[in-house]
Amino acid sequence: MIVAGLLLLGLAPGTHVDARDYPAAGQGDAAFAVMERALVRGFDNICGDTFCEGDYGNLRALQLRCAVGSRSGVVAGCLWSFAGSYAYVSPTAALPEVNARTWACPLPVVAGTSLATLLERLSGPDALDTPLPGTGVSTYQALTDCL
């Protein structure tokens, strides 16, 4: 009986899905990609004057993911991942060395924010500087706390 229960748990649908898969598998991909591209474009435009001035001059936005209630469409949370590195030659080493790092930056999404609202708010030309729904905090401000 316990084994059957565990098998059913493995088959039961989860309570959250990737925003790209809301309301059904793959159906949110296009709209989410528009938002992600707008945010990446904003990041790329300001990176050289801000985040990319330090050790990690080649900092890159990797992927934005948001978890959404599978029935409600309410955003549970979003993380935006980044990577950067720098290479150098040590006088004592025969090969160049690399220092690489990754970041997972949470976006401050207010409880109860619908995916539709988030997509609408952050898909425009100033997406990076636009306050997240229900807050006065932009994605840019959130990244300054993370990167």
Tokens 């159906």: give the residue.
27
pLDDT for res 3: 46
How much is the pTM? 0.87
The pLDDT assigned to 7 comes to 43
Q: What are the beta bridge partners of residue 79?
A: 65, 106
Residue 12 binned pLDDT confidence (cut-offs 50, 70, 90): low
- Which of residues 4 and 74 earns the better pLDDT score? 74
Q: Write the burial class of residue 74 (CB in 10 Å: 0-12 exposed, 13-18 middle, 19+ buried).
A: middle
**Residue-averaged pLDDT of the chain:** 92
Percent of the chain with pLDDT over 90: 82
Where along the chain do its domains lie? 14-54+63-80+106-146
Tokens of 140: 């840019």
Q: Render pLDDT for 74-84 as a digit per residue (tens, 0 to 9).
A: 999 999 999 99
pLDDT digits (tens, 9 = 90+) for 63-73: 999 999 999 99
Rounded to whole angstroms, how far apart are CA atoms 147 and 111?
24
